[in-house]
Structure 1
Amino acid sequence: MRAGAARVDITPRDLKGLWMVWAKPFSGVHDRLYARAVVIDNGIDTAALVSTDLVEFGDTTLLRQRIQRELGIPADHILISATHDHNAPRAGPIQAGTSSAEGRPYSPPSYIQLVDDAIVEALKQAQASLQPARVGVGRGRADVNIQRYGFDGKGWNGADPDGVSDKSVWVVKLESQSGDTIALLMNYAVHSTVAGADNTLITGDLAGAAERFVERHYRDKAVALWTMGPAGDQNPRYDPAAQDMHNKFASIKDANAAAFEAMDAMGLIVGSEAILTANRISDMSGTARIEAGESVFSCNTTPPRAPVQSSGPPRFAANPDFHQTIDYPKAMEFHLGLVQINQIALAGVSGEIFTRIYQHLQADSPLANTILVTMSNGRIGYVGDDASYDGPFRNASVVRGCAEQGIVSGLVELMKQHAQ
């Protein structure tokens, strides 16, 4: 096998028209954002993985078709994901039925084009740097996520430290024949929301902090890609904004500084575990069977949600610079993707998936090393397991009884098709 990796800066050059998820314009930049890419081939097949330091990415079909035209990588052999950093812009076309389509701020066409071009450039650089390589996989553990829906005896409020949560830190390591690390693909289940709504500086948040820590460890000679696991129901364990710590500080400035400290600390924990896990991987293969494919299924949507008003800006306040009206759909499409390297399955799904769906997938998967890459090739919103509809889950994008089985059976079928 051969592998190559690269990263390209996607930090906005102009903040005009770029708004936070919380309906506030960005005021500056705390740390840089990147599109990171890995290309692998074996002389017969080629596949690519892209991770972007963004809150979300719309349907990537047209972008992947462009990549196929310009680089020759098949569109169904590409997974493009967002790390879901809430203090970063969004990219890609808006998908009907999502919270962005309901009016959450989205990005102007100029920034979306910048990101698309950067992804293509990162893939070109990765492809140009292809070299003989080895691949291995490992699984560590880090406790920086927490079940976001807790029952306090009276109702569903706040986080639940004893609730279901996957602590796995998955690592796919790519190294040169001489043993130098080319790239680490990290996968962990947590929302990157530490900076919070009071901070208006662009940041990669927890995911970005982990990526930077790993890349510094390798003296910026390796690329660290963060992919989000089943984090639809997982918040950061130490979350100053969600845990009502902000009002205990003397000023918003002090509160934001504390949030950045928490962000860096949790990024260090996950990043350190990723490095330690990579160091423990001893079974490295210099050959690779590459299989990939995609499928689509649909589920009926839940009724449209009304805008939520608060004492601050409306949660779904439209970006006044770039208004777009999208009809609410009766059904939404799930995009499933598979990139399989030997016995490693990178299973992509275009939504924020709950933990129990991943547990279901692991139980049914024919491959022990099955890694769920969420927010991949699109984002349709929160996707809960069937049982979660009986609890506090009230912001589902689709009706109960469709998504969980559709995701699990669809991904398992892709694996079985490509095992033949």
Structure 2
Amino acid sequence: MRNLLLILGLFTSALCAQTPAPTSSIQAGFAERDITPGIGMEQPGGYGKSYHLKFHDACKVRVALFDDGKKKVALVGLDTLVVPRQVVLDARARIEKELGIPGDGIMIGASHSHSSGPVGMVLPGEYDTASELVKKLAYEESSCADAGFLLRVTNEIVEGVRAASLARVPAQLCFGFGHEDKVAFNRRLRMKNGQSWSHPGPGNADIIEYAGPIDPQVGVIGAWDMQGQLLGVMVNYACHATTNPGGISANWIYYLEKTIQGALGSKAPVVFMQGACGDVTQVDNLSTARRPGPEEWAQLVGGRVGAEALKVLFSSPRGTEAVLDTRQQVLSIPRRKPAPDRVKKSLEIVQAGKPKGDTSGWIFAKEIVMLDHLCQVTPKVDSEVQVIQVGPAAFVSNPAEYFVQFGLDIKKGSPFPFTFPVELTNGIVGYVPTEEAFGPHGGGYETRLTAYSNLEITAGRQMAETGIALTREMKPAPAPVAPKAIFGKPWTYGNVPPELE
């Protein structure tokens, strides 16, 4: 008996030696860190002050890190409204020094959650050299970032990348697109007066049609270890995060995460990178149906986008090779300057004091006065365009609330089979509409001249062309394919002629 067990042991060892363990040329690591703001902090996303009064769910730094043995890249998704340029530069400098990942391999993008922490709109010290009136308008009458919170976000980005780097293991990756066209709508509508308006309202008899498209693709990358355990998921989709489910929240991205994790029975991080959605939200202005409540709306958007991501994860073949590459270019783009007469008139309006009732006129006069100062101190704005390649996929960034047509143009011009435009990344330059939106049939909220949105009208095209050019400097890797079936023999139950009796 003892000899028999010895022989069986030797036989088993020989089989194991002949069947090498699966290997991969790509490693992946995922991590998340908490950046939930406190009750009472400012809630960003408007041109005035608003404060958080309750909590709904946590806001996070979400990190996906890939290592092909030659390069490491980190893609960081933040549950924030925007990400200030200085936060990006500071985080990159620390990551490069402490972890050895070059800055051009680190992409940091905001989800644009309107229910997140105080990262904008006015930055600490931004108007310190302005007149007393302008400083008062900026710091007391505008949405302001919190210096301590910005430092916390910077630290957690670094620690998130560190944790993802430590967690990296050989991985299997899948790539794919889902399709979701029932929860995102272009919010600009063509009107009978020849203009295009933002949110003209359901049932408005003067609406003709949508003024622009949407991008229904749900871009997905899934990562598993070599034993089939889910490591993390990346999702790219174009829709404003403005469902605001009630209190501090990652917005509908929370329900995107819950849908994926719940279906898979996993706590693996879900890294969301916002698509080009400067003119796309969850609001359908052509529908006269009752609009969902905030919680229901967040569930609807996050759940449907998450369900599409799951379809990709379930159906896409996995591969163990993914070459990494990076490109980066910083554009210096001039601001649009308000006319002197408009500045003079705006000064008169703000000096007269904020009116009761409708304050729209006063708010946008305030913005013109603040913009006039910015044009004097920083007449041009650094706008980074970055491309990070992960095998057959390319993430193409811009720092804008970017009109969806530009995202579609980038996808069309890119040689990559999976191209993911990522807005509000590596900085913030406000709304960047198409040139058509500034034409005689354009208009709408996104084209208004403010301290937040003011780049020259060709800015979006410059970013798109730069992004496309950078992708064309790279060589897309082939997407994973399912292994071919090997024919054996027909099914003996079915290889018969019809039996009539």
**CA positional deviation for 1:25:** 1.1
| CA apart distance, 1:43 | 1.4
Q: CA deviation at 1:412?
A: 2.4
Task: Specify the alignment match of 1:249 in structure 2.
Answer: none
Say which SS state the counterpart of residue 225 (structure 1) adopts.
strand
Matched letter for residue 328 of structure 2: E
The Cα of 1:4 is off from its aligned counterpart by 0.6
Superposition deviation, residue 2 in structure 1:
0.4
Q: Aligned partner of 2:381: which letter? A: M
Distance in 1, Cα, partners of 2:113 & 2:364: 18
Name the residue aligned to 2:43: 19
Q: What is residue 252 of structure 1 aligned with on the other side? A: none
8 Å CA contact 1:19–1:107 kept in 2: the answer is no
Q: Is contact 2:118-2:146 (8 Å) kept?
A: no
Contact 1:57–1:377 at 8 Å: present in 2 too?
Answer: yes
1:104–1:213 distance in 2 versus 1, CA, 3 Å? farther
Counterpart secondary structure, 2:191? coil
1:271 matched to 2:306? The reply is yes
Corresponding position: 1:133 with 2:171 = yes
Q: After the TM superposition, which residues 94-109 of structure 1 pair with which residues of structure 2 at under 5 Å, given as runs? A: 94=123, 104-109=142-147
1:206 and 2:252 are equivalent in the alignment? yes
Contact 1:89 1:106 (C-alpha < 8 Å) held by counterparts = no
Residue 342 (structure 2) pairs with residue 293 (structure 1): no
Unaligned runs of 5+ in 1: 247-254
**CA 384–407 in structure 1, closer or farther in 2 if over 3 Å, else same:** same
In structure 1, the residue matched to 2:35 is 10
Which residue of the partner structure matches residue 259 of structure 1? 294
Q: Which stretch has the larger CA shift, 358-367 or 376-385?
A: 358-367
CA drift at 1:243: 8.6
Change (3 A) 1:336 1:243: farther
| C-alpha contact (below 8 Å) 2:190/2:210 kept by paired residues | no
* CA apart distance, 1:16: 4.3
Q: Indicate which of 137, 145, 159 corresponds to 1:121.
A: 159
Structure 1 residues 402 and 112, CA gap change in structure 2 (3 angstroms): closer
* 1:54 equivalent in alignment to 2:93: no
Alignment partner, residue 164 of structure 1 = 213
Question: Closer, same or farther in 2 for the Cα pair 1:63/1:317, shift >3 Å?
Answer: farther
**In the alignment, is residue 44 of structure 1 matched against residue 70 of structure 2?**
yes
Q: Which residue of 2 aligns with 1:387?
A: 436
Distance 1:244 1:11, change over 3 A: farther
Query: Could you tell me how far apart the structure 1 residues matched to 2:75 and 2:364 are?
Result: 31
The corresponding residue for 1:410 is 466
Name the SS of the counterpart of 1:151 in structure 2. Answer: strand
Report the counterpart of residue 187 of structure 2 in structure 1: 148
Shift of 1:79: 0.6
SS at match of 1:366: coil
In 2, Cα distance between equivalents of 1:293 and 1:62 = 19
> What SS is found at the alignment partner of 1:106?
coil
Using the TM superposition, give the Cα deviation of residue 132 of structure 1 relative to its aligned residue in structure 2, in angstroms.
0.4
| Counterpart Cα distance in 2 of 1:156 and 1:386 | 13
Correspondence 1:333-344 to 2 at 5 A: 333-344=382-393
How many pairs align? 395
Give CA deviations for 1:151-184 in whole Å, capped at 9, x if unaligned: 2323533265584111111111112112222111
Separation (CA, whole Å) in 2 of partners of 1:273 and 1:337: 27
Alpha-carbon contact 1:2-1:132 (below 8 Å) kept: yes
Secondary structure in 2 matching 1:150: strand
Give 1:298's aligned amino acid: S
Secondary structure in structure 2 of the residue aligned to 1:73: coil
Aligned partners of 2:397 and 2:423 also within 8 Å: yes
CA contact (8 A) 2:212 2:405 kept: no
Opposite residue 409 of structure 1, the aligned amino acid is E
Structure-2 separation of matches of 1:237 and 1:402:
26
Please say if 1:354 is aligned against 2:412. Answer: no
> Residues 316 and 261 from structure 1, CA distance in 2 versus in 1: closer, same or farther, beyond 3 angstroms?
farther
Q: Which moved more, 1:263-272 or 1:22-31?
A: 22-31
Aligned residue type for 2:405: R
Is residue 2:101 matched to residue 1:70? Answer: no
Cα 1:260–1:350 shift into 2, 3 Å: same
Question: Separation in 1 of the partners of 2:84 and 2:311?
Answer: 34
How far has the Cα of 1:19 moved from its partner?
3.3
CA-to-partner distance for each residue in 1:78-98, whole Å, 9 max, x for gaps?
11111001121243894979x
Ranked by relative contact order (alpha carbons within 8 Å, sequence separation 6 or more), the top structure is 1
**Aligned counterpart in structure 2 of residue 29 of structure 1, from 55, 61, 72:** 55
Q: Which amino acid aligns with 1:129?
A: A
Superposition RMSD in Å: 3.2
The whole-number CA distance in structure 2 between the counterparts of 1:270 and 1:152 is 30
Shift of 1:286: 0.8
SS at match of 2:154: helix
The structure whose Rg is larger is 2
Q: What letter corresponds to residue 35 of structure 2 in structure 1? A: I
**Residue 212 and residue 222 in structure 1: after superposition, are their counterparts in 2 closer, same or farther (change >3 A)?**
same
CA distance in 2, matches of 1:271, 1:361: 24
Cα distance in 2 for partners of 1:108, 1:30 equals 21
Deviations 1:275-316 (A, max 9, x none): 11221211x221221101211112221235968976369758
Shift of 1:263: 1.1
Deviation at 1:317, TM superposition (A): 11
Counterpart for residue 12 of structure 2? none
Gaps of 5+ in 2: 1-25, 128-136, 201-208, 477-501
Letter of the structure 1 residue corresponding to residue 443 of structure 2: P
**How far is the alpha carbon of 1:34 from its aligned partner?**
0.9
Q: Deviations 1:14-33 (Å, cap 9, x if unpaired)?
A: 33442332321111211111
Within 2, Cα distance between the matches of 1:326 and 1:187? Answer: 36
Larger displacement relative to structure 2 (172-181 or 124-133): 172-181
- Aligned letter for 1:401? T
For residues 161 and 141 of structure 1, do their structure 2 counterparts lie closer, same or farther at Cα, with a shift above 3 Å needed? Answer: farther
Does structure 1 conserve the Cα–Cα contact (< 8 Å) formed by 2:36 and 2:117?
Answer: no
Q: TM-score w.r.t. structure 2 length?
A: 0.72
On the 8 A contact 1:146/1:163 being kept in 2, the answer is no
